[in-house]
Amino acid sequence: MTQTPSLPATTALPPFQAIADLVRDHAGRRPMQAALVQGNRAVTWGQLDAMVDRVAASLQRDGVQPGQAIAVCATNSLEYVAVFLGGLRAGAAVAPLSTHSSPQQLAGMVEDCGARHFFVDGALAAFDTPARRIFMDGAGTPALADWLLPEGSRPEAVDVAPAAPFNIIYSSGTTGMPKGIVQPHAMRWGHVARAASYGYGPAAVTLIATSLCSNTTLVCFFPAIARGGMVVLAPPKFDAAAWLALAEKHKATHAMLVPVQYQRILAREDFDDYNLSSFVMKFSTSAPLHAALKQEILDRWPGGLVEFYGMTEGGGTCVLEAHNFPDKLHTVGRPGEGHDIRVIDEDGAELPRGEVGEVVGRSGAMMTGYHRQPEKTREAEWYDGEGRRYIRTGDVGRFDEEGFLTLMDRRKDMVISGGFNIYPSDLEAVLRRHPAVADAAVIGVPSKEWGESPVAYVVPVAGESASVDDIRAWVNAQVGKTQRLAGLRLATELPRNEIGKVLKRQLREQWTAS
């Protein structure tokens, strides 16, 4: 295992401070130090702070009040960062929306959050909304540069409380219409406090390769900003070679990558040619990071590896410091400090260690609720015998005797065949051991005989020639009778959302349609 380099010690964070205010602090201390880099463009802390002031003052000029929302839908850019932070400095809640959303979904999300201002790229504006559109790429009217107040404009100071809404993150919509998850400033501050132990600071260089609309990105981006390091924005379309070149060029110390990105980077034949010795810590979240891939990262990539397991809704987070627990790579770690995670049965009763059930959690980092959906909020909550509020994850798992959590599957993805519970992740792990299988997803489909039966989609390894029947027979010879695959199909790739989650609902629809 490679050694984890260290950065110079950093000063402790104050008890609570609005992240947008920290930008001003960094500008005062290091006005000429680079804060953001994208391609050939760079912005210093002084320039970023001034731009954030102009955005906040312009929002206040237009009547945006603290607690109201603004919406953003665009690819990552320096302007996107300034608008996000400017909204926060004005006291607004920012709703960053996915560029992969349909026009109907975008219109619904803008209406749901009540945004009066909608910051967009020109290509993403072809639908009706009463919100005022401001074009960050200058492809429409008004362009951001024309909407902004003159340079030197300053906003009225806003006192931001920890419980005030920071952002509204909309769920990926993999199971239907996205829900707005309201996250308070206190939740984001919890991420900043947690990050203090991972080497973030003024000397850190964080490479961002996922969308700023995603909580996956923000749990890494805002700690980097809050601690005063430089953030490098990779091109919107992920390319493993380009990413490696950026990491080497800027001597990246930190990165958040989703599992499929790790796979693509390590699959490059020239991976070992890049100098990645600057890395202090790498992170992963949003989708399962399989044990074999964790091991490969530890073996081949300098710096530590941390996997976060949790939900955008907050609640409990598990942390696996893989470099410290190489014998626990099959788990997602133990509850973080101040996080209380439990496992419950179908009736809501708490289960002991070793028993399989739904994972629930609570902490200081929890959503306020789903925006304008109190019934959905209640469905996501579980209360213990003392009336304490937990967030239901919908995931099935169990704790071992040392307190490490092993995940089985999403509860909705579990296959119930002939009364037996079948966990797709178990079958997917077997499939990935086949030398001709690069990736796999197992889903449940209707069965007259058994109610449901497990079937699989498999992405073959390039150049391998195993047949569908051969792969299926190989798997079924290694699993229990109730787990045997009823069908298997080949695919060139698995459908994923922008942060790498396999869209199993889409796979089920494809299977039943054909």
Question: Which has the higher per-residue pLDDT, 7 or 453?
Answer: 453
Q: pLDDT class for 408, splitting at 50, 70, 90?
A: confident
Q: What percent of the chain has pLDDT over 90?
A: 74
CATH of 335-409, one of 3.40.50.980, 3.30.70.20, 3.40.50.880, 2.30.38.10: 2.30.38.10
Q: Which two tokens stand for residue 163?
A: 């419980």
| Segment 379-392 mean pLDDT | 95
Q: What residues does each domain of the chain span?
A: 19-237, 335-409, 414-513
Going by C-alpha positions, the residue among 168, 166, 169 that lies closest to residue 185 is 166
Question: pLDDT-derived band of residue 175, with 50, 70 and 90 as boundaries?
Answer: very low
Give the CATH fold of the 19-237 domain. Answer: Rossmann fold (3.40.50)
| pLDDT in the model for residue 172 | 63
Between the alpha carbon of residue 380 and those of residues 75, 105, 183, 214, 366, the distances in Å are 31, 22, 15, 20, 12
Between CA 365 and CA 185 the distance in angstroms is 9
Q: Can you give the pLDDT at residue 125?
A: 64
- Bridge partners for 446 per DSSP: 452
Q: What is the mean pLDDT of residues 436-448?
A: 93
CATH architecture of 414-513: 2-Layer Sandwich (3.30)
pLDDT recorded at residue 179: 87
Structure-token pair, residue 144: 């951001």
Say what the pTM is: 0.84
**Within this chain, domains 19-237 and 414-513 share the same CATH topology:** no
